[in-house]
Structure 1
Amino acid sequence: MASTAPRLDVVDALRGFAIVSIMLLHNIEHFDLYYVVPDLPAWLVVLDKIIWDCAFFLFGGKSYAIFALLFGLTFHLQSQRRAGRDEDFRVRYGWRLLILFGFGLLNSMFYHGDILTIYAVIGLCLLPVARMRDGVVLALAAALMLQPYAWLVLADAMRHPDAKIGDPVSWQYFARMNAYLTGDSLVRVWPGNLTNGKLAVIHWSWENGRIFQIMSLFMLGMLAGRRGLFEAVPASLRFWRRTLAGAALLFIPLFAIKTMLPDLVASAAVRRPLGTIIASWSNVAFMLVLVACFVLLYQGGALTRALRVLAPLGRMSLTSYFTQSIIGSFIYYGFGLGLYKVTGATVCLLIGVLLAALQCAFCAWWLRRHAQGPLERLWHRATWISARQPA
């Protein structure tokens, strides 16, 4: 199926939506420098908690899931374009992922929570499944979405429900971060983020089921591309309407179970892996609600024109993601303005909204003058180095 402008437009806008939501979450977290500002007025403390809870309910664990879904879709579109020229894109794509890994390491110097390096490594899973039949890929994606490792841990915990479990391994790495993130030395932040910070994120991603979830979403995104689910045609719109209804019905009990789990399960050993499974499924269900709503609302009218503002941001997602790490770390970390000391979730949300608006305006301005964002252009040229570059 050849790519068309309407589909690419909605995908770019959806990717821009994910970038904005990531920006908002990162800001209220002080880019993972967790700090509670003392002596705030009582009303502001209440408002901060409401904003924090609402932001994580809407976007926590969902924004990156949208990104993962679109990552697999992009792989399909790029592979298909080269297949039309009787070329196998997989080797070139492996090289492309290696370049992305390099971008991720640079991004990690400023923000240790970088997802690019993880996507670059996990993205290799697409290479062996690219030629498999839809049914086989769907079965693999479903098996991964079930969180197989967490089920093994749960089975062991069911046999030993009274076993004492320690804190997650990632916590010991997170506990060391304030020592260099609150300091005034950028030279200390860089090695700290690339060593301690990366280990924290890798362990956290494994402990929370992100690794299996991302692999599954990559494959599902590839299947969505094969099936043309982002085309503005009646069949795809019917699919998203059914997905919206099914995902909403699935999310409600999953979220209720996740919320009540501490009261339902007394054993900590059982509760931890079960919580990982339920939270993962709940996040994916709500992510599908967000994606379905976005696609259905993008079908014409004033709201479509409003959502289309996000498309330039989505087309420059690599540049936008990279620059928000640099700007955000300067705003909140000790080597920069150090605003983590005085900003709660409410003020951080306003900062995030302002930064997102500025990024949208910059991307629109840039793309009126250039075909691609600066980092996107660099990634494209490096991908096709020593080869005939496609338009």
Structure 2
Amino acid sequence: MNPLQDRPGQTVPLPAATQQADRIQELDLIRGIALLGILIVNMQVFSYPVIYVSELKLNWWEGMWDRMAEAFIAFVAQDKSRPMFSFLFGLGFMIFVQRAEQKGGRPLALFARRLLVLLGIGLIHAYFIWFGDILVTYAVLGFFLIFFRGRAPRTLLRWACGLLLVPAVLLTAAGLLEGPGIFGDPQLKAAAPALIEQSLQAYGQGSWKDIFAQNSFDWQIALAGYLTLSPVLFAMFLLGAYAGKTGVFQHVAEHRKRVQKVWIGSLALGLPLLLPALMFEKSEPAYKFVEFIGLWLTGPVMSLFYICSILLLAQIPLWRRLLAPLQAVGRMAATNYLGQSVVCTWIFYSYGLGLYGQVGPAGGLAIAAAVFGAQVLFSNLWLKRYRFGPVEWIWRTLTYGRMSSIRKGGF
């Protein structure tokens, strides 16, 4: 049976878009905080050729504040924000399907159309704005979620654990036998010095044509990295789908003890894996091994700790009020994600302020705080008058095939 065909031969109406009353506020809050983490991590990619610098294990920034900022980013945000968003993507898939079924729609065909629109948005973002796009990868991997729609929660959990543990164990064993070099790309490492200079010239001083050419080349490197990490990303999709299928986020009070157990267990497992990242310099051979463990295990585990922490804090009235402004950022996650790329490339690329290669991690953190603060303000002001963010509105309109009212109370 075609996985996209829910009721063969039967025509059913499309479900209405999710209304504000149907939203799970904790999800918007987690998305908003995850966006802050993504911005903090991506700021290094926006501001200097970190993907090539890391291949050479260089300490590019030697100042005390920059070194402290790098350690902070590695400890708090690196490899953790992306798994958080991947988890939310899988959770969103399951909730989307469940609600579409309740409203009498064809959820899988509708979800496939939603992914195609996301793919188009991602391609525009990757080609014309910034090479670090993750939306294309999410859209492609998202189609595989369709085959897990009818699986039991336990099956989803087993697949997720297998996708995280089996590759990590095999590659770690290979690394221990052959040395940390297995985790790098020898050809990329050899070309890295020239690519560093090329990036500094193109992004910092080049023309639109130079930037486009460099961006296209860097996107190939980024895609290769995302392909390598696809088991991790899809494992987090499945963990999110598991949470959606078991109703954890839909009925938090009923699952509070389960959330607390995951919260304690993820911290107990993740913290010992995280601490070694602060023990080695980038120039030391062991650093690449520690970095690899972070990508495959530490990041996903700590992302679960973050998700559970936010979910538990949101049940406390005081914290719920304090964190409430971040919900608006999460409701406009696509708009804000793309907006971060537009603003930050303007700050660092030659067609804007041209600061590429001139701002270290400490300065990047300050810029990230300013950009995110502006997004919090913008998102809350926007949603006072409009039902959706601008990109979300386009996404919904193309998905459902009909114009939705974006203004509150009508057009």
What range is the shorter-chain TM-score in?
0.7 to 0.9
CA contact (8 A) 1:146 1:277 kept: no
Q: In the alignment, is residue 216 of structure 1 matched against residue 235 of structure 2?
A: yes
Which runs of 5 or more structure 2 residues have no equivalent in the other structure? 1-17, 54-60
- Pick from 327, 343, 368: which aligns with 1:327? 343
Q: In the alignment, is residue 356 of structure 1 matched against residue 372 of structure 2?
A: yes
CA contact (8 A) 2:117 2:395 kept: yes
- Matched ranges for 1:46-65 at <5 A: 46-65=64-83
Moved more, 374-383 or 107-116: 107-116
| Structure 1 partner of 2:97 | 79
Please state how far the C-alpha of 1:241 moved relative to its aligned partner: 1.2
Distance in 2, Cα, partners of 1:117 & 1:254: 30
Q: In the alignment, is residue 137 of structure 1 matched against residue 156 of structure 2?
A: yes
Distance in 2, Cα, partners of 1:305 & 1:350: 25
Distance in 2, Cα, partners of 1:306 & 1:225: 26
Moved more, 218-227 or 251-260: 251-260
Distance in 2, Cα, partners of 1:219 & 1:335: 41
Alpha-carbon deviations, 1:116-141, whole Å to 9, x = none?
A: 11111111110111111222222111
Q: In the alignment, is residue 205 of structure 1 matched against residue 223 of structure 2?
A: no
- Matched ranges for 1:104-143 at <5 A: 104-108=122-126, 109-143=128-162
CA contact (8 A) 1:101 1:120 kept: yes
CA contact (8 A) 1:14 1:291 kept: yes
What amino acid sits opposite 1:113 in the alignment? Answer: G
CA contact (8 A) 2:31 2:85 kept: yes
Q: In the alignment, is residue 377 of structure 1 matched against residue 393 of structure 2?
A: yes
- Pick from 94, 111, 117: which aligns with 2:112? 94
Distance in 2, Cα, partners of 1:74 & 1:331: 32
CA contact (8 A) 1:110 1:189 kept: no
What amino acid sits opposite 2:309 in the alignment? Answer: C
Please state how far the C-alpha of 1:91 moved relative to its aligned partner: 2.0
Distance in 1, Cα, partners of 2:90 & 2:130: 24
CA contact (8 A) 1:229 1:236 kept: yes
Could you say if the C-alpha distance between residues 379 and 297 of structure 1 is closer, same or farther in structure 2, counting changes exceeding 3 Å? same
Distance in 2, Cα, partners of 1:165 & 1:303: 41
Please state how far the C-alpha of 1:364 moved relative to its aligned partner: 0.9
Number of aligned residues: 374
Aligned residues: CA RMSD: 3.4
| Structure 1 partner of 2:5 | none
Q: In the alignment, is residue 238 of structure 1 matched against residue 238 of structure 2?
A: no
Q: In the alignment, is residue 184 of structure 1 matched against residue 203 of structure 2?
A: no
Distance in 2, Cα, partners of 1:237 & 1:77: 19
Please state how far the C-alpha of 1:340 moved relative to its aligned partner: 2.9
Q: In the alignment, is residue 300 of structure 1 matched against residue 316 of structure 2?
A: yes
Distance in 2, Cα, partners of 1:48 & 1:133: 47
CA contact (8 A) 1:28 1:52 kept: no
Please state how far the C-alpha of 1:301 moved relative to its aligned partner: 2.8
Please state how far the C-alpha of 1:337 moved relative to its aligned partner: 0.6
Please state how far the C-alpha of 1:290 moved relative to its aligned partner: 1.1
CA contact (8 A) 2:200 2:356 kept: no
CA contact (8 A) 1:232 1:299 kept: no
SS in 2 for 1:284: helix
Please state how far the C-alpha of 1:78 moved relative to its aligned partner: 0.9
Could you say if the C-alpha distance between residues 23 and 83 of structure 1 is closer, same or farther in structure 2, counting changes exceeding 3 Å? same
Please state how far the C-alpha of 1:236 moved relative to its aligned partner: 2.0
Could you say if the C-alpha distance between residues 292 and 45 of structure 1 is closer, same or farther in structure 2, counting changes exceeding 3 Å? same
Distance in 1, Cα, partners of 2:32 & 2:321: 14
Distance in 2, Cα, partners of 1:229 & 1:308: 20
Please state how far the C-alpha of 1:16 moved relative to its aligned partner: 0.6
| Structure 2 partner of 1:39 | none
Distance in 2, Cα, partners of 1:186 & 1:347: 25
Alpha-carbon deviations, 1:285-334, whole Å to 9, x = none?
A: 21111111111111133321121110111010101011110110010122
Which runs of 5 or more structure 1 residues have no equivalent in the other structure? 37-42
- Matched ranges for 1:7-22 at <5 A: 8-22=24-38
Please state how far the C-alpha of 1:191 moved relative to its aligned partner: 3.8
- Pick from 297, 307, 318: which aligns with 1:291? 307
Could you say if the C-alpha distance between residues 362 and 274 of structure 1 is closer, same or farther in structure 2, counting changes exceeding 3 Å? closer
Could you say if the C-alpha distance between residues 70 and 277 of structure 1 is closer, same or farther in structure 2, counting changes exceeding 3 Å? same
